[in-house]
Structure 1
Amino acid sequence: MLKEGRTALSFQETISPTSPLIQAHVYAIRKIEGATNQPSHRERMSIDKWKPYLHEVLNRFPANFSSEFRNPCWYEGTELQCVPYFYQLGSFKCGTTDVWDNWYYDLQGPIITNRFNRHVRKTRRKTGQGNDHSIQWYLNLFRIQAVEQVKKNPRLVFGDASISNLWGLGIYDWEELFTNETDPPVFLADVIHAIQPKAKIIAILRDPVEKLWTTYMLEQWKKMVSPQTFHAHFKRLTKESLQCESINSPLYCAFMYGTTADISLNNMLYQGVFYLYLQQWVDVFGLENIHVMRLEDWIKDPITELEEAFKYLELDPLPHDVLSSIVNRSTKNVNERAKRKNFTMLASTRRELQDFYRPWNQRLADLLKNQKFTWDY
């Protein structure tokens, strides 16, 4: 339900014809100027205000987990329940599948991974539980897939690698419940922190220009695509984002139109604005408690990246020969269909996309205190 004064968007409506380059500049500058006039960190809603709406979820977990296990677990009578030790954040075509596959190296390793942990939302559909969003379903999933192994080896841990973790909301019907709020007030980061304040968070990001290009080629591979059709696609997304931000904040547009399952409303351009999503996790968990990787670094030196990730997770280091055997596997989820088309992005498209993402990348780099996340443009 939309608030009074906020109208549903019709993305087919036209906007005054200006060049995509000028649109991108105006769009980026307006966002940065608006953000500069606001506090660097938006004041978060107090848990006391939103806890009553998630009372059943929050009360499902203990105040303290068992010290018997490295993974966060607790007993309910004689039954062991566990939640993930770490949460992997990412987005489409950011290398999350390949990194996830490399967490696992043998049954005696420190991390339990399987296809169910990789896409929890897809698993719900495959098991026929499409309408079951209960916390019990979530616990049952891991109880079936991982808890028995944790019982046998208390040093084992497991994670949740659903890429939707990055942009998850804590309360999806927030517009009906908090009518005075203009932006989402509760995020998945808030809920996980309330349950697991010491949870490990790992994010995997990629140059957003390359991400949008490869995502488009993957989703449109059955159609007649070309660098020219991608340029037209980018122009349409830019117009849609301008229209959304004419009546809403960038934060609202990113969470409500950048990640929706409704393809007619989904604006993939926002999914590369990592700053808006990752800021919610940094605000709650603190930068020192989040490990952020770049796909480009993973491709260049996967052994070092894996070593640093294991160190952050406080897991036992792996022998160098084991690390080598892990990273020498074939890369997972490579978009071979797009590669076979052998297309190259138009130089003009790349420039305009870089103009669009540049200010957001800079804010991301400032947030993470690491200029590598500007991707040098």
Structure 2
Amino acid sequence: MALVRRNSYHFRFSVQFYDVGNNSMVEGNIFSVKPITYNRDIDGPVNCNITVDDMMDIMNMYEGRKLQCLPYMYLVGVAKCGTTDLFKRITLHPDFKAPTRKEPNWLSANRFCEASVNTFEGAHFWPYLGSNVGHDEPVENNAEYIYHMNSQARILINVRNPVDRLWSEYLAFSRSANKSAEIFHQIVVRELSIYNRCLRTRTLRSCMYDRPMAQFSTMTDVERQLMKQKCHLKPVDIVMLRRGVYHVFIKDYLKVFPRDHVLIQRLEDIADDPEETLIRTFNFLGLKIPSKSNLRKIMDLDIRNTRRPINIKRGGMLEATRHILHEFYRPHNEQLSILLNDSKYNYGPRG
């Protein structure tokens, strides 16, 4: 069965698929479509599940629009953990077919490969999808959607010390011209208060998957008032505390995918030995190791998405901020190290 997706922006964010086998449209969420059987005659890990006749039928139906294959690799996260740099180096492998853009965000937002770091923390509109309706945490999520579309997919996840990740995210994504360690501290204190209040009455997983609360917690009083008046806006300051609670989201992927289909790497290790990281990644993806000269070309690429000079001048966060963030993340780092059976994921205050 070959599938072509088109968005249908109406109640419950339904999606329509063209089922070539039955020559009909299938409407609903991803689980409405039977698991896909792939064409294994094509050499290499990145395959299309479609015949020439099927392709002609679809091209005629959709007036010659470009046909796309489902991704084999998903670099799902986490933001500010070296994903842009790793993705760019992977695309330079001679046997890798790069997508037209790094982050299509189809699973996380634009459904209503893929290297969308938002895929890690779930679809933006998960409360409206399928069996999630009426629940305060996902019953079905992106890990299950990916597995349903391609059970042989490979999942890449980069992490780093969550305290440093949060500061890096604030500097990179906040739209305020007045970013500072003091303002960051105020936002963190406010956000910690909101999450601690949430955790008194709800499960950890429920609080971490609550995207509206995550956005609301970073807003100023003025932004909150505008939001209460039904104004659609994004917070100026981006400080997504929940993204560093890695074990909650990683556990959802490990429940679905075999352990050898999920590669989790630390940015700290990537920085210490980038060549070994790349070789390990290529092996994981089933790609042959390039020749020494080609590997050197890939390694000579300038590091992507580094901190801008203006943000470097801002220095680091306050020590008081680092302390309270470490205390918040400490039990979650412990849970991550237990989940992965590796003590190096039990980050201290500075790595």
Letter in 2 for 1:354: H
Tell me which of 108, 111, 131 is aligned to 1:133.
111
Asked if 1:326 is matched to 2:298, the reply is: yes
Q: Is the 8 A contact 1:201 1:290 kept in 2?
A: yes
CA pair 243-262 structure 1, distance change in 2 beyond 3 A? farther
User: How big is the shift at 1:360?
Assistant: 0.4
Q: Which amino acid aligns with 2:274?
A: P
| More helix as a share of residues | 1
What is the rounded CA distance, in whole Å, between the counterparts of 2:302 and 2:98 in structure 1? 17
Shift of the 115–179 alpha-carbon distance from structure 1 to 2, 3 Å rule, reads closer
Change over 3 Å in CA distance of 1:308–1:231 after alignment to 2:
same
Match of 1:248 in 2: 202
Percent identical pairs in the alignment equals: 24
**Aligned with 2:188: secondary structure?**
helix
Conserved in 1, the CA contact under 8 Å of 2:30 and 2:145?
Answer: no
**Mapped pair 1:110 → 2:88:** no
Deviation at 1:176, TM superposition (A): 8.9
Query: Matches of 1:331 and 1:361 in 2, distance apart?
Result: 27
Determine whether 1:93 maps to 2:80: yes
Say whether residues 1:66 and 2:39 are aligned partners.
yes
Distance 1:61 1:217, change over 3 A: same
1:237 aligns with 2:191: yes
Aligned 1:13-52 pairs, distance under 5 A: none
Retained in 2: the 8 A contact 1:85–1:199? Answer: yes
The 5 A counterparts of 1:253-332 are: 253-257=207-211, 263=234, 268-332=240-304
What secondary structure sits across from 2:155 in the alignment? strand
Give the corresponding residue for 1:75.
Answer: 50
Q: Alpha-carbon deviations, 1:165-202, whole Å to 9, x = none?
A: 11124972358955664421111101111221111111
CA contact (8 A) 1:287 1:368 kept: no
CA distance in 1, matches of 2:72, 2:184: 39
For the residue of structure 2 that corresponds to 1:292, the secondary structure is strand
Deviations 1:66-104 (A, max 9, x none): 012232421253417521111112122111111111112
Alpha-carbon deviations, 1:304-348, whole Å to 9, x = none?
A: 000001111111111233222212211111121454424122222
How far residue 286 of structure 1 moved from its aligned partner, in angstroms, is: 2.9
What runs of 5+ residues in structure 2 fail to find an aligned partner? 1-25, 56-66, 216-231
Q: Aligned-pair RMSD on alpha carbons?
A: 3.1
C-alpha deviations, 1:207-247, integer Å up to 9, x for none? Answer: 11111111112233642232222211210110121232233
Partner of 2:264, secondary structure, is strand
Equivalent residue number for residue 141 of structure 1: none
Helix, strand or coil at the partner of 2:74: strand
The CA distance in 2 between the partners of 1:175 and 1:303, in whole Å, is: 41
Q: Classify the secondary structure of the residue corresponding to 2:156.
A: strand
TM-score normalised according to structure 1 size: 0.69
Structure 1 residue aligned with 2:162: 208
Contact 2:326 2:348 in 1 (8 A): no
Amino acid in the other structure paired with 1:348: A
Distance 1:337 1:162, change over 3 A: same
User: Paired residue for 2:332?
Assistant: 360
1:168 aligns with 2:122: yes
Quote how far apart the aligned CAs of 1:60 are.
4.7
Gaps of 5+ in 1: 1-52, 125-129, 135-158
RCO higher in 1 or 2 (8 Å CA, sep ≥ 6)? 1
